[in-house]
Chains A and B, each alone.
Chain A
């Protein structure tokens, strides 16, 4: 047999090669062939068996043979009772956990009756202004049996407080309430861009929540360190991995600076990745992520508890990869992305619906998305053995390379003085914008293909049915919030808000005063307004 070099210079050279660029969607070039020569490091050090450090092959000993991933579809629209009905429907269809999408005003810390909420109430998610909305949202859902993920960041402290009060009203102690709140403010400044106050006070609120949950709600994941939005903003796979892990490093540093032991909170840090179109790159990215986090937690932070080193993650197929053109093709994209997620060993997964580039999904589209996961789990057979791509020369070489390149970024961010400094100078933001522009140019030049958009397009699109949100919903919610504000005890509200202000000015953990305020019917917008006054408002620097 020839060596790889000889093979490349003879056999491969004599064969034909299509005139295209053989690179991943992130534009990482691939070799024609990977062989045992490309494998670096021994099995024990770089891969190891599932459930063993550095967890490259999976965080759990039996992975999907023990328990399938959680099928968790993100849902939320209109009034709390509309979303509650969708939750009950999804649970009846075999979904395991809930995932809540809030509307933009809730996410940005405005009540439905605020002028900035106009036109946006209940549109991109469910509108929650007060504890009453939260009670309606989880009506007849037992919070000790269903885990919930809440995608909310700058107003997360208020929404977590509301969730815990709902549990309290259901008679469930906080130590039996399980779930996740996204609460990853660093990536907000980098990518998703929902914020109230500047990075440093934002980080303080996040750390208060990590500390509070470690003590009072130990089954709750106080932060879900998210690459999803970084990728959606146009980053490469390596950037997604690097900036997300760098955010994680920053949270661990902050919490340990507070005096928390790393093993007291790190087992409850979880992650959230994007699963994009490039199949091999995505499988490799997820495997590299686990190895990086394990090594960083052990070597950099001296974690002793293996659970502190395990990167457990939710994942979602890439929203930005869906096309408005020939939208039924999106079903196929989502299925392939979901497969990459499963082959990459995720713990929980959301599959996008085919119509999500046009509107919030219809019930039919959501059902197809959920069924996609069920088909992968129970028909394809890929969950029958653990990490089936482990040992693939190509996958292992890509895993090594992605880890190496991501660690380079992390070194650069460390040199800048950490992620907060890097964000303040606009470093990750510019890197992402650059990558997004590069990809757009490649699309327009035809170097990269999107089927149905820059190739195989059709002149006449066949429209599909989409979900419409009635404008009347906004009016109803606005009236409801106004009525609640008129009828509650305003002296108690003022007192509770003063307590939150006071906590903002001191080192006191903010969660207790916020919980108390929520009990007194204080709203998301009112508590966020205290943050605006006490911590200042962050404005988009508008870097192009």
Chain B
């Protein structure tokens, strides 16, 4: 399994159209050697969980800049569990205050990247923290 390339779903939940970051991350992860699937904008948590299962990904990266992160992250995690995919690593980024980031990590989000994080840091984190699902 050592040479299996990790598959990452980059997802953009919510109603806002701020996809600059999501697209840059998707491209950087692809350049970093991962297989990347990008959902496009305006996804519901159901659409994201479904895509994660269908695409058989190892991790889901959520980009949220609308302020709805406290609703959307837990919902995606819950729906992944319901589909028997609770071991998919969920991480994310966007405009997320520190207090909220702490709470989200307690709720099972593996890592939160905030404005100013470099794509290199994110690629490195995925490489070091995401395992291929069995």
Contact = CB atoms under 8 A, between A and B. Distances in A.
Interface residues of B, number: 34
Contact of B16 (A110, A124, A234, A466): A124
A120 B14 CA distance: 8
Contacts of A91: none
Contacts of A542: 38-41
B30 interface: yes
Give the 3 A-B CB pairs with smallest separation, nearest first: A193-B17, A542-B40, A119-B71
Contact of B66 (A124, A444, A539): A124
Contacts of A325: 115-116
A104 B15 contact: yes
Contact of A124 (B23, B67, B116): B67
A188 B14 CA distance: 16
Interface string A430-445: 0001001100100110
Contacts of A149: none
A188 B15 CA distance: 13
Given A116-B15, A359-B97, 10 more contacts: A104-B66, A118-B71, A119-B68, A120-B68, A123-B66, A325-B116, A359-B67, A541-B40, A542-B41, A544-B30
Contact of A105 (B15, B28, B97, B98): B15
Interface in A300-324: 320, 323-324
B37 to A, nearest CB: 9
Interface in B6-59: 14-17, 19-20, 23-24, 26-28, 30, 36, 38-42, 44
A120 B67 contact: yes
Contacts of B44: 116
A324 B16 contact: no
Interface string A110-124: 100000111110011
A544 B23 contact: yes
6 contacts: A118-B68, A194-B15, A325-B115, A359-B67, A433-B27, A540-B42
A358 B68 contact: no
Contacts of B68: 118-120, 123
B72 interface: yes
B26 A234 contact: no
Interface in A77-133: 104-105, 107-108, 110, 116-120, 123-124
Interface of B: 14-17, 19-20, 23-24, 26-28, 30, 36, 38-42, 44, 66-68, 70-72, 95, 97-98, 114-116, 118-120
Contact of A324 (B38, B70, B114, B120): B114
A539 B40 contact: yes
A191 B18 CA distance: 8
Interface string A354-380: 000111000000000000000000000
A159 to B, nearest CB: 16
A110 B38 contact: no
Interface in A484-540: 539-540
A311 B118 CA distance: 39
Given A324-B115, A444-B118, A359 B95 contact: yes
A507 to B, nearest CB: 30
A437 B41 contact: no
B85 to A, nearest CB: 21
Contacts of B14: 104, 119-120
Nearest to A119: B71
Nearest to B41: A540
B15 A433 contact: no
A412 to B, nearest CB: 22
A437 B19 CA distance: 12
Interface in A312-345: 320, 323-325
Contacts of B119: 440, 444
B17 to A, nearest CB: 3
A39 interface: no
A119 B75 CA distance: 11
B40 A453 contact: no
B23 A436 contact: yes
